[in-house]
Amino acid sequence: MGCCCATLSKAPAEVTGTYETAVPYYVGKCLPSDEVIVDQWLQKQIEEVERKTPPDPLDQVVQRFKDAIESSAELSMFFGQMFAEVPTNYHKKTPTSRGLVKDYHHMLQIINHVLTKPPEFRDNTTTLTYPITAILTKPMKTIDGYVAFLNPKVNYHMKSILNKWGDFLKSPNSCSVLNTDGWFSAKAIEKMGGNFEDDFICDPSKPHYGFVSWDDFFTRKLQPNARPIAYPDDRRVIVNACESMPFRIEKQVTKHGKFWIKGQPYNLKFMLADDTLAEKFVGGTVYQGLLMLYNYHRWHSPVDGKIVKAFVADGTYYSYPLGNGNEDYNNLPVSDYVQGYLTEVAARAIIFIEADNPYIGLMCFIAVGMLEVSSCEITVKEGQSVKKGQQTGTFHFGGSSHCLIFRPGVELEFDFHGEEPGFNTNSIKINSRIATVPK
């Protein structure tokens, strides 16, 4: 195997297309749906790395991942093959794009490069805030990539790499993008609701609006009364636990659904990390909502009640379900196709709440992480009483979705505020009514 400072291959022929002509739409609202944008960003990172002479040494966490790959016959095979398995016709506009990331040595050097880069905002067509996903988006969807990113050893090292990036995002150096050309530009403010100063605790008179790091900005707190709690004294009303788009409802949920196939029925055994309480929800209802990058990312209790159990389940970080063939390669990750799958395999926080309303009783909240956005912090403790709308935790740098799970027999009248559950809906504010248990 090559050494950690192996010389990078020259970038392939220039990727065709421009940011201006690319489709300004985000699959999963985290990556541009036009591969040209992803490839142009990736090519730019490669060129920046190649200009460094000598190459930067690998960070310790990246070097340990490299050592793990090269000390395992199994991982050496997976990472040796996945880049070769990317179909040559993957990219309709730029057939050379298969070669942008040559092999896992190349992959590790580019990952190493982006560990000290904060997520940027430039405008609706050029923003690419999930850098490691952009590096892995093609090989992770191959057969060898699918198997590799389910491997516990791989996920252990990916977690270490993401934690390293998370440490940088908590440092003052990550504030470089918190300016009027970046996350406080007019377009970014509009994406975050348009009323940033009224909605969030900040100080526009200070540098970076008073935020001391990217993570501090991302986990921003709401101003008092910015999100009023719907019917605070009515225990029949369940409020939205995350600022999110209504995505999906499934009733009569089974414990052993085949979550890896298209359609992806929910599987309670794996969603709830094989917890003994999973049995109580068999035949019940799952509601799933999707968070976008620009949303408020703290979680609130949907009901008055008591925390019965709360824990974080480690999972996968870059596992993408296999499709029926190469036709699925034209859909970049984090589409509606993977959201159900992620509730079973991704890193996630699981909080069981015994609602004060006996007609709700035991329910469960799951905060589902994915890709770079997998850090879940629970801020309540077992045995603690919570009020509806009270904070229960937060994502760090995002989070993909959340689920509310109810027992069988719980009658629910959902309120989506005029939205039709699906992938292209508008977000419903946190603390708004999401469901009612009828009299």
Ordered by start, the domain boundaries in the chain are: 26-172, 177-218, 237-436
Check if the beta carbon of residue 376 is closer than 8 Å to that of residue 395: yes
For 279-316, the pLDDT digits (tens) are 999 999 999 998 888 889 999 999 999 999 999 998 88
The C-alpha atoms of residue 230 and residue 46 are separated, in whole angstroms, by 49
Q: Is 73 exposed, middle or buried (0-12, 13-18, 19+ CB in 10 A)?
A: exposed
111 — pLDDT class (breaks 50, 70, 90): very high
CA dihedral 424, 427, 432, 438 (to 10 degrees): 10
31 — pLDDT class (breaks 50, 70, 90): low
Three-class DSSP category at 14: coil
**349, containing H or E segment:** strand 348-355
pTM of the model: 0.86
The C-alpha atoms of residue 91 and residue 17 are separated, in whole angstroms, by 12
Residue 393 clears pLDDT 50, i.e. is over it = yes
Check if the beta carbon of residue 295 is closer than 8 Å to that of residue 244: yes
Residue with the larger pLDDT of the pair 37 and 249: 249
For 189-248, the pLDDT digits (tens) are 998 999 999 999 999 999 999 999 999 999 999 999 999 999 999 999 999 999 999 998
User: 10 Å Cβ neighbour count for 125?
Assistant: 16
Over residues 43-58, the mean pLDDT reads: 91
Over residues 405-425, the mean pLDDT reads: 92
Q: Give 248's strand partners.
A: 288
Residue 345 clears pLDDT 90, i.e. is over it = no
Residue with the larger pLDDT of the pair 226 and 425: 226
**Given 2.70.70, 3.30.70, 3.40.1580, 3.40.50, which CATH number is that of 237-436?**
2.70.70
> Which residues lie below 8 Å from residue 274, measured CB to CB, with a gap of 6+?
none
Take residue 272 and report the two structure tokens written for it.
């709830």
User: 10 Å Cβ neighbour count for 97?
Assistant: 25
